[in-house]
Structure 1
Amino acid sequence: MADKLWLRVITPSSLVVDEEVDEVLAPGELGEFGILPGHVPFITLLAPGELIYRKDGTEKRFILLGGILEVKDDKVKVLTEFVEDPSSIDPAVARKELEAVMEELKGFGGSSKELKELTRKLKLAQIRAGIG
Structure 2
Amino acid sequence: MADKLHFSLVSPERELFSGDVDQVDAPGSEGDFGVLAGHAPFMTALREGFVTIHEGDKVHRYEVQGGFADVTPDGFTILAEHARDAGVASA
The residue that corresponds to 2:58 in the other structure is: 58
Paired AA for residue 57 in structure 1: D
The residue that corresponds to 2:12 in the other structure is: 12
On the 8 A contact 1:41/1:70 being kept in 2, the answer is yes
Query: Structure 1: how far apart are the matches of 2:59 and 2:68?
Result: 21
TM-score (norm 1): 0.62
The residue that corresponds to 2:43 in the other structure is: 43
Please report how far the alpha carbon of residue 74 of structure 1 lies from its aligned counterpart in structure 2 after TM superposition: 4.4
TM-score (norm 2): 0.88
Larger radius of gyration: 1
On the 8 A contact 1:38/1:74 being kept in 2, the answer is no
Identity among equivalent positions (%) equals 35
Cα-Cα RMSD:
1.3
Paired AA for residue 57 in structure 2: G
Query: Structure 2: how far apart are the matches of 1:57 and 1:40?
Result: 25
Deviations 1:87-119 (A, max 9, x none): 4xxxxxxxxxxxxxxxxxxxxxxxxxxxxxxxx
Higher relative contact order (CA 8 A, sep 6+): 2
User: What SS does the corresponding residue of 1:35 show, helix, strand or coil?
Assistant: strand
Query: Structure 1: how far apart are the matches of 2:69 and 2:86?
Result: 20
Which blocks of at least 5 consecutive residues in structure 2 are unaligned?
none
Q: How many residues align?
A: 86
Query: Structure 1: how far apart are the matches of 2:30 and 2:74?
Result: 22
Which blocks of at least 5 consecutive residues in structure 1 are unaligned?
88-132
Paired AA for residue 38 in structure 1: G
The residue that corresponds to 2:85 in the other structure is: 85
The residue that corresponds to 1:122 in the other structure is: none
Considering fraction of residues, name the structure with more strand.
2
User: What SS does the corresponding residue of 1:25 show, helix, strand or coil?
Assistant: strand
Please report how far the alpha carbon of residue 34 of structure 1 lies from its aligned counterpart in structure 2 after TM superposition: 0.4
1:1-132 alignment runs, 5 A limit: 3-87=3-87
Please report how far the alpha carbon of residue 86 of structure 1 lies from its aligned counterpart in structure 2 after TM superposition: 2.3
